[in-house]
């Protein structure tokens, strides 16, 4: 199962590269239609991802691996709950895969920051995690549903 997940993510990253390279054409990203509340939930999570990545990067820059670990843990799998079933059903499967993998990567950064205390390793992990963000934004766009 884990190998299938990794293959799917690799394919998504490849597709994201094609989309980015073709940026002069019409926006060909898949549109996800959400109501206002659902859109707010998804965009808030994305902003929180970005804020957390900033905190992790600051921790790396300050050689504070405890900050890296605590920031990353806050966005790990424990943070992925509380989403309504209606929203879950509207999100494409590959979008959900990327989101789950992103939460897992935050958990791994937290674990490794505690056990390895290696800034370079943490920075490499952030670079890999950011590939999920790039892929998601290259593949999807969120628009409000028509009433």
31 Cβ contact list (under 8 Å, min separation 6): 140, 141, 142, 143
> Dihedral angle at the C-alpha atoms of 53, 65, 59, 126, nearest 10 degrees?
-30
Residue 109 and residue 125: Cα distance in Å, rounded?
Answer: 7
Using one digit for the tens of pLDDT, what is the confidence trace for 36-87?
Answer: 999 999 999 999 999 999 999 999 999 999 999 999 999 999 987 778 899 9
Sole residue written with tokens 């490849």: 14
Structure confidence by residue, pLDDT tens digits, 106-140: 999 999 999 999 999 999 999 999 999 999 999 99
- Whole-number mean pLDDT of the chain? 90
pTM: 0.82
Evaluate whether 69 touches 110 at the Cβ level (below 8 Å). Answer: yes
Domain count, the chain: 1
Is residue 23 scored above 60 in pLDDT?
A: no
Q: Look at residue 144 and give its three-state secondary structure.
A: strand
Q: What is the mean pLDDT of residues 17-44?
A: 83
Q: Which domain holds residue 117?
A: 2-144
CATH classification of the domain holding 37: 1.20.120
């Amino acid at each position: 199962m884990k190998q299938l997940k990794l293959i799917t993510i690799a394919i998504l990253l490849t597709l994201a590269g094609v989309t980015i390279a073709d940026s002069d054409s019409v926006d060909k990203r898949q549109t996800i239609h959400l109501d206002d509340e659902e859109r707010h939930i998804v965009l808030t999570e994305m902003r929180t991802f970005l804020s957390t990545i900033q905190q992790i990067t600051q921790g790396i820059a300050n050689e504070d691996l405890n900050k890296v670990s605590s920031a990353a843990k806050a966005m790990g799998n424990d943070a992925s709950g509380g989403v309504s079933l209606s929203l879950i059903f509207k999100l494409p499967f590959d979008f959900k895969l990327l989101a789950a993998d992103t939460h897992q990567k935050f958990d791994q950064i937290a674990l490794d920051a505690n056990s390895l205390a290696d800034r370079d390793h943490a920075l490499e992990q952030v670079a890999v995690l950011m590939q999920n963000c790039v892929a998601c934004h290259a593949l999807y766009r969120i628009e409000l549903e028509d009433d």
